[in-house]
């Protein structure tokens, strides 16, 4: 074996990030590594990110996790998209669904055909041309062999970490209980040598993975990596989370309900509803936000509302020296599009692909940081789009968002869509054309023009083309069972 190969990997912190890293490294690389995860039962995890996106299938496939098993273990339900209510304006709603829109051609996407149809008054809302969109509104769902897995999950993040812990320990990951008191850094090269715990244990390692949450005990407090603040683009800095009993049928989508200084989430699990409010403290106090939340939820409270403070932004480097930040320690973008677990997953997979030797090759580190930065900038732009492209002027918060300067990269996308109806996805970007199109149209943007190749169709041909897509989707969705009934037969949890 290569004598310079890393041997000892230390994961600082548990929660979703820590146990995702432990399970992946343990199962996929564990034969060649000694993996230790350090966490304290006295330190609570944030644990409110319960909605995911379809990319999680990649992680589960890598670890050969059976879908129904993890869903049963985490009280999970299916997710086909997000309902954005009051975002475009008060009492105006739309859904950003997974999946693909209609059918385009080599020169133009489906939106060009739809735009001409809208001008002629022969189309309905654009979501009617996406099966996942229609199914989400009708509460329908099915897992069908050989279908595209354009769906995700609502799951209990604490139970998900527990599920992954079982897998990690099965593959040799060692858990050490203790609170980190000190991070010991080599004065000569600045690398982390070990972490010292409050029980006098010292854990040495070659590679350290920082999953210590917002504090960033290793990546920031020890290595002083630096933080890029994005609060001028994403001004919400607080959240309050609470759980309630389920009393209605669950819907296969997340609800995001805008209010005067932010938004409220509703995430349905099999056994409870995850609720929370995200807000800007400059425009709403903690007490007023708590009152707003409690006045807009249903069902018996299962816990006390918990206030969470954060600053949107990113570490200037996600990998610095021999330390890789994963999860909240690497930065935080709002949970609006459920991207937190995706970024954890991407960090872990890219780390395994770029696994260094003890020398911590700079080329590996630079490649990792460049790819993570590219992806996180794309996600940031997509989230900012929701706030900036709005017709709301009913509060100081929304007037600020509507009039704020935005990243040039986002402005270019907006202009590209308005001027000619085009959207694009480059390599390594998370959100595809369908996502950008749905949100831009949902927020009130409409292209001035459509691609002239659409005019190759006669008006009658265009109508027949659009009607056929819609009818095909109708037939397909009508064959799906009820979402709740499907869960009962496929993955009903025994941990209720």
The pLDDT of residue 288 is: 98
Whole-number pLDDT of residue 495:
64
Question: What CATH number corresponds to the domain at position 321?
Answer: 3.50.50.60
The tokens for 411 are 């402005």
Instruction: Give the residues of the chain that fall short of pLDDT 50.
Output: none
Among residues of the chain, what percentage have pLDDT more than 90?
93
Mark whether 213 and 163 lie in a shared domain. yes
Is 79 one of the annotated active-site residues of the chain?
A: yes
Active-site entry in 31, 64, 72, 79: 79
**Residue 28 falls inside a structural domain:** yes
Residues 419 and 350 grouped into a single domain: no
Residue-level pLDDT at 1: 57
DSSP string computed for 218-282: TTTTTT---EEE-TTTS---EEEEEEEE--SPPPSSEEEEEETTEEEEEEE-SSEEEEEEEE-TT
> According to the model, what pLDDT value does residue 134 have?
98
Instruction: Give yes or no: residues 200 and 341 share one domain.
Output: yes
Q: Based on the domain organization, do 223 and 348 belong to the same domain?
A: yes
Q: What is the pLDDT of residue 371?
A: 97
Question: What pLDDT sits at residue 49?
Answer: 59
On whether both 473 and 385 belong to a single domain, the answer is yes
Q: Are 215 and 341 in the same domain?
A: yes
Read off the pTM: 0.96
Using DSSP, state whether 180 is helix, strand or coil: strand
Q: Are residue 301 and residue 446 in the same domain, yes or no? A: no
Domain extent, residue 259, equals 238-309
- Please report the pLDDT score of residue 291 as a whole number: 97
CA of residue 153 relative to chain centroid, distance: 11
What local confidence, expressed as pLDDT, does residue 496 receive? 55
346, 386: one domain? no
- Res 46: pLDDT: 60
Domain annotation covers residue 326: yes
- Do 250 and 153 contact (CB within 8 A), yes or no? no
For residue 164, what pLDDT is reported? 97
Q: 281 to each of 90, 110, 237, 247, 293, how far by Cα in Å?
A: 21, 41, 6, 31, 15
Query: How far apart, in Å, are the Cα atoms of 106 and each of 79, 110, 220, 451?
Result: 31, 10, 48, 11
Query: What pLDDT score was predicted for residue 145?
Result: 84
Residue 189 and residue 326 share a domain: yes
Number of compact structural domains in the chain: 3
């Amino acid at each position: 074996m290569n004598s310079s190969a890393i041997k000892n990997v230390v994961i600082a912190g548990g929660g979703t990030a820590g146990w995702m890293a432990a399970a992946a490294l343990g199962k996929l690389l564990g034969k060649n590594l000694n993996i230790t995860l350090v966490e304290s039962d006295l330190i609570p995890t944030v644990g409110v990110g319960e909605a995911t996106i379809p990319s999680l299938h990649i992680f589960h496939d890598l670890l050969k996790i059976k879908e129904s098993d993890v869903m049963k273990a985490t009280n999970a339900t299916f997710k086909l998209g997000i309902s954005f209510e009051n975002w475009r304006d008060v009492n105006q709603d739309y859904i950003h669904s997974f999946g693909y829109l209609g059918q385009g051609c080599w020169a133009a996407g489906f939106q060009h055909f739809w735009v001409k149809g809208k001008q002629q008054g022969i189309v309905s809302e654009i979501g009617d041309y996406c099966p996942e969109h229609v199914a989400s509104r009708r509460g329908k769902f099915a897992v069908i062999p050989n279908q595209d897995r354009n769906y995700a999950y609502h799951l209990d993040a604490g139970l998900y970490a527990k599920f992954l812990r079982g897998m990690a320990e099965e593959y040799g990951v060692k858990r050490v209980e203790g609170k980190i008191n000190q991070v010991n850094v080599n004065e000569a090269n600045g690398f982390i040598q070990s972490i010292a715990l409050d029980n006098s244990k010292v854990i040495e390692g070659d590679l350290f993975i920082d999953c210590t949450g917002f504090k960033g005990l290793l990546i920031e407090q020890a290595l002083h990596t630096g933080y890029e603040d994005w609060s001028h683009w994403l001004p919400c800095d607080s959240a309050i989370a609470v759980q309630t009993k389920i009393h209605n049928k669950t819907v296969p989508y997340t609800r995001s309900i805008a209010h005067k200084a932010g938004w409220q989430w509703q995430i349905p699990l099999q056994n409870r509803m995850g609720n929370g409010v995200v807000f800007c403290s400059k425009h709403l106090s903690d007490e007023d936000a708590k009152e707003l939340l409690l006045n807009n939820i249903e069902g018996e409270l299962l816990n006390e509302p918990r206030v969470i403070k954060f600053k949107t932004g990113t570490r200037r480097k996600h990998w610095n020296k021999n330390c890789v930040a994963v999860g909240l320690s690497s930065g935080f973008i709002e949970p609006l599009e459920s991207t937190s677990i995706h970024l954890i997953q991407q960090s872990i997979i890219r780390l395994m692909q770029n696994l260094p030797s003890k020398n911590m090759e700079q080329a590996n580190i630079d490649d990792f940081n460049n790819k993570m930065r590219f992806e996180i900038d794309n996600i940031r732009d997509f989230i900012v789009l929701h706030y900036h492209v709005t017709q709301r002027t009913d509060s100081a918060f929304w007037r600020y968002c509507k009039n704020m300067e935005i990243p040039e990269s986002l402005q270019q996308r907006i202009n590209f869509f308005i001027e000619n109806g085009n959207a694009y996805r480059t390599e390594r970007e998370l959100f595809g054309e369908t996502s950008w199109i749905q949100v831009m149209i949902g927020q009130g943007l409409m292209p001035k023009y459509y691609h002239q190749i659409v005019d190759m169709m006669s008006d009658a041909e265009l109508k027949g083309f659009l009607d056929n897509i819609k009818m095909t989707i109708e037939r397909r969705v009508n064959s799906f069972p009820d979402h709740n009934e499907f869960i009962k037969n496929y993955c009903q949890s025994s941990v209720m």
